[in-house]
């Protein structure tokens, strides 16, 4: 089957208006360039189905075309906010971008079961709002929530700022609906919390980055809304102090600790530089003549009352200051201030993007090892890449650091990336391995780390993954070249 025959078939399935083809008048940049601007691909077409049945028919048509030798493949796409070049087409012009954005309905909200069932193209922020309007909390929370979709969150097993209490997207998901690589529909939209009837198919598709099938719907957990939420922004003398503060916060707040994010001074200074309207507390403030290197955002969600939350927070901060873990802190007085403090943290990736192209690492290591890891790795980087600037921040409560590297001040950023990225990555990933960590805790593998993965995962694990990929997608048609080469 030729590409033009396939495109006609796709038009008959989703309607001609929803098969987009790049032309002088139709710039498809939002679908074909990744969020970080690292790569721009070429799509055979962007196809926008509006139902699970349409997705299945599109996949069947592509599978038939592929079998007939066309070489077409499919890149599932949600909000295209991924960090590892996984949701955009390659340069071949043979890939269909299958955008789930038109599938954006809430299918069912079951308060008694504490679940919401959704189309995969629902934007995360709309899901949070739908739950809130019904009196529930949907805890998944990412800086990209205004654009990213539930399907993309599941495809990447996204983390974000509430994982310390509620877990990754995987932990929030009870059931999935998936279109397989053969175009069959697996209806696994169970709202069950317990089900031991064999292999866990749901967990196979979560975090598979669209390489095994297309998630078209999901049943997700909701939680009770807290009675009160308090946010503190604390300045700390060291990363060791941040780990001690985390332990203390876990002891004082227990399940009330819903956020614990660490931010290095340089990361915060980029927010101050690129978004001067945001007032970053303690930026450049010296304590005993030294600018403190780290700040932390802490969130306390309380099921009792605001007064209870305040009393708990005060006790925690007092004890932390007495122990020297905290030098000073501000506590948000109202929701507006609370949002402003969170906004500072969430603006770091945007500020870094304004600063220029950069090397990102979303690594994880045991929480207790993080200070030592940073000390040793900082020193090694300074020795091998003099002047490289470290943008260091992240989800300390989960042992997940964004250990990002920006070119030296005044250097050509694109050239730095091109010439130094492999060396920087090798140094950082080797250190991660020495500390028994993972080279990706959040953003996944995509195409950026696909060649690295075999160096850092055991051959047995790689072969098991290949076996799964071959069994579920024998034509290698679902997001080929991402996560794993077969
Ligand atoms: P896309 O970017 O469209 O796709 C991501 C991957 O999932 C691709 O491999 C794609 O093929 C696959 N995919 C998409 N939809 C489906 C589907 N329906 N079925 C199967 N596979 C699918 N990530 C975090 O984990 N934590 C953060 O805190 C965080 N913060 C961010 C902040 C900013 C400012 C930005 C820009 C990104 C951030 N991210 C974060 C990364 C990104 O937002 C997440 O990975 C998000 O889950 C991607 O969702 P998306 O809808 O944009 O997916
Ligand atoms: C975050 O935690 C995201 O803000 C993005 O995961 C991290 O841009 C990054 O490196
Ligand atoms: Zn993150």
**Ligand 1 center to 149 CA (angstroms):** 7
**Ligand 2 center to 62 CA (angstroms):** 34
Length of the chain: 486
What ligand has the least distance to the C-alpha of 143? Answer: 1
Dihedral sign (CA 253, 259, 262, 265): negative
- Cβ–ligand 1 contact at 215 (below 6 Å): yes
Residue whose CA is at the smallest distance from ligand 2 atom 5:
349
pLDDT in tens, 432-474: 999 999 999 999 999 999 999 999 999 999 999 999 999 999 9
pLDDT in tens, 70-96: 999 999 999 999 999 999 999 999 999
Q: Which atom of ligand 2 is nearest to the CA of 393?
A: 2
- Residues 6 or more apart whose CB falls under 8 angstroms from that of 76 comprise 87, 98, 100, 151, 155, 210, 214, 215, 478, 479
Q: Is the pLDDT of residue 59 over 90?
A: yes
What ligand has the least distance to the C-alpha of 355? Answer: 2
pLDDT at site 2:
87
Residue whose CA is at the smallest distance from ligand 1 atom 38:
144
Residues around the ion ligand 3 (C-beta < 5 A): 442
**Ligand 2 center to 151 CA (angstroms):** 19
What is the percent of the chain with per-residue pLDDT over 70, rounded to a whole number?
100
Contact (Cβ atoms closer than 8 angstroms) between residue 72 and residue 44: yes
Q: How far is CA 423 from CA 53, 308, 372, 383, 457, in A?
A: 46, 50, 21, 12, 19
Angle formed at CA 281 by CA 276 and CA 286, multiple of 5 degrees: 110
Angle formed at CA 362 by CA 358 and CA 366, multiple of 5 degrees: 140
**And the tokens for 478?**
């679902």
Q: Which atom of ligand 2 is nearest to the CA of 352?
A: 8
pLDDT in tens, 181-193: 999 999 999 899 9
**Ligand 1 center to 460 CA (angstroms):** 28
The dihedrals phi and psi of 102, each to the nearest 5 degrees, come to -80, -10
Helices 335-346 and 348-355, packing angle to 10 deg: 40
Residue whose CA is at the smallest distance from ligand 1 atom 25:
158
pLDDT in tens, 227-284: 999 999 999 999 999 999 999 999 999 999 999 999 999 999 999 999 999 999 999 8
- Cβ–ligand 1 contact at 131 (below 6 Å): no
**440/26 Cα distance (integer angstroms):** 35
pLDDT in tens, 46-55: 999 999 999 9
- What's the whole-number mean pLDDT along residues 362-387? 97
pLDDT at site 230:
96
- Cβ–ligand 2 contact at 139 (below 6 Å): no
Single out the residue of 452, 449, 476, 461 nearest to residue 86, CA to CA.
449
- Cβ–ligand 1 contact at 83 (below 6 Å): yes
- What's the whole-number mean pLDDT along residues 330-354? 95
Q: Look up the pTM and report it.
A: 0.98
Counting ligand 2 atoms within 8 A of each CB, the residue from 145, 347, 364, 443 with the most, and so the one to mutate, is 443
Single out the residue of 79, 154, 150 nearest to residue 119, CA to CA.
150
Residue whose CA is at the smallest distance from ligand 2 atom 8:
349
- Cβ–ligand 2 contact at 398 (below 6 Å): no
pLDDT at site 454:
97
**Ligand 3 center to 442 CA (angstroms):** 6
Q: Which atom of ligand 1 is nearest to the CA of 79?
A: 52
294 band by pLDDT with thresholds 50, 70 and 90: very high
Single out the residue of 143, 168, 162 nearest to residue 300, CA to CA.
162
């Amino acid at each position: 089957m030729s590409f033009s025959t396939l495109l006609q078939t796709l038009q008959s399935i989703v309607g001609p208006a929803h098969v987009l083809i790049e032309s002088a008048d139709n710039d498809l940049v939002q679908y074909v360039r990744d969020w970080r601007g690292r790569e721009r691909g070429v799509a055979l077409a962007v196809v926008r189905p509006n139902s699970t049945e349409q997705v299945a028919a599109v996949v069947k048509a592509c599978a038939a075309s592929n079998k007939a030798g066309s070489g077409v493949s499919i890149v599932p796409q949600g909000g295209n906010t991924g960090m590892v070049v996984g949701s955009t087409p390659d340069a071949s012009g043979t890939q269909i971008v299958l955008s789930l954005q038109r599938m954006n309905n809430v299918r069912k909200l079951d308060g008694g079961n504490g679940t919401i069932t959704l189309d995969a193209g629902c934007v995360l922020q709309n899901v949070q709002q739908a739950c809130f309007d019904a009196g529930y909390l949907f805890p998944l929370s990412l800086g990209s929530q205004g654009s990213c979709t539930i399907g993309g969150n599941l495809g990447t097993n996204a983390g974000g700022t509430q994982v310390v209490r509620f877990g990754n997207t995987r932990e929030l998901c009870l059931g999935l609906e998936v279109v397989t690589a053969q175009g069959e529909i697996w209806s696994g939209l169970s709202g069950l919390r317990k089900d031991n009837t064999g292999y866990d198919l749901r967990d196979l598709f979560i975090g598979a980055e669209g390489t095994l099938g297309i998630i078209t719907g999901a049943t997700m957990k909701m939680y009770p809304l807290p009675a009160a939420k308090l946010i503190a922004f604390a300045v700390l003398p060291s990363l060791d102090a941040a780990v001690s503060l985390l332990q203390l916060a876990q002891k004082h707040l227990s399940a009330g600790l819903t956020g614990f994010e660490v931010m290095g001074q340089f990361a915060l200074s980029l927010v101050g530089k690129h978004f001067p309207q945001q007032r970053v507390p303690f930026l450049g403030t010296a304590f005993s003549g030294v600018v403190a290197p780290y700040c932390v955002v802490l969130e306390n969600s309380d099921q009792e009352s605001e007064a209870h939350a305040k009393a708990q927070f005060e006790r925690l901060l007092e004890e932390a200051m007495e122990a020297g873990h905290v030098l000073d802190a501000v506590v948000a007085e109202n929701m507006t201030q609370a949002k402003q403090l969170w906004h500072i943290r969430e603006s770091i990736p945007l500020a870094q993007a304004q600063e220029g192209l950069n090397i990102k690492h979303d690594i994880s290591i045991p929480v207790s090892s993080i200070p030592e890891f940073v000390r040793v790795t900082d020193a090694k980087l300074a020795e091998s890449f003099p002047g490289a600037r470290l943008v260091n921040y992240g989800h300390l409560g989960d042992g997940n650091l964004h250990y990002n590297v920006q070119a030296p001040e005044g250097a050509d950023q694109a050239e730095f990336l091109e010439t130094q990225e492999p060396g920087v990555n090798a140094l950082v990933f080797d250190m991660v391995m020495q500390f028994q960590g993972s080279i990706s805790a959040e953003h996944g593998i995509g195409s950026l780390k696909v060649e690295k993965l075999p160096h850092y995962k055991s051959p047995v694990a790689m072969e098991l993954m290949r076996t799964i990929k071959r069994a579920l997608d024998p034509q290698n048609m679902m997001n080929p070249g991402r996560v794993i080469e077969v």
